[in-house]
Amino acid sequence: MDLNEWNEGTTALRDVEERIRRFATGTDGVVGVILATPEGFPYAYFTKGPLDAEVAAAFISSVFAFAKKMGRAADMGRPLEINLHFGNGSIYVFPLGELVLGVRTLPGTSIGMVLINARKMLKDLKALTEDDLNW
């Protein structure tokens, strides 16, 4: 199924983008959110500044793929979330069906509010896309 050509009656890509935008604008410190395919292609995103969507999608997909591989090797299963902290901010990575969600924050951002709001958004996105992600 081409993700940009959903059938009539299914969730529109703009609904997914709107929820991503609301999360990013409603959560202090969040500067960008991207939803990527497992192959590392951008699916939907919102950013408050410049973003190379292809690089960001490839990065979060690669991080998630590596964590999945390590989880299998250590017999721990699939990662539920990945938190990466850098000097200039943090990146949080979450699975969403077959897709991967990445959230970038500013330094000093409250991790608690980001995770709480991200988990709410993921639940909402999962409900929206449940049928569409089983391709």
What is the pLDDT, as a whole number, of residue 14?
Answer: 84
The distance in angstroms from the start CA to the end CA of the chain is: 6
pLDDT digits (tens, 9 = 90+) for 33-57: 999 999 999 999 999 988 899 999 9
Three-class secondary structure of residue 4 per DSSP: coil
What is the pLDDT, as a whole number, of residue 3?
Answer: 44
In the chain, how long is the greatest CA-to-CA distance? 45
Task: Report yes or no: 56 and 34 within 8 Å, Cβ to Cβ.
Answer: yes
Q: Does 132 score more than 80 pLDDT? A: no
Separation of alpha carbons 62 and 77, rounded Å = 17
What is the pLDDT, as a whole number, of residue 91?
Answer: 96
What is the pLDDT, as a whole number, of residue 127?
Answer: 82
Nearest by Cα to 59 from 19, 23, 93, 109: 93
Domains belonging to the chain, first-starting first, are: 13-129 (3.30.450.30)
Lateral strand order in the sheet of 82-86? 42-47, 30-36, 99-105, 89-96, 82-86
Q: What is the pTM of this model?
A: 0.85
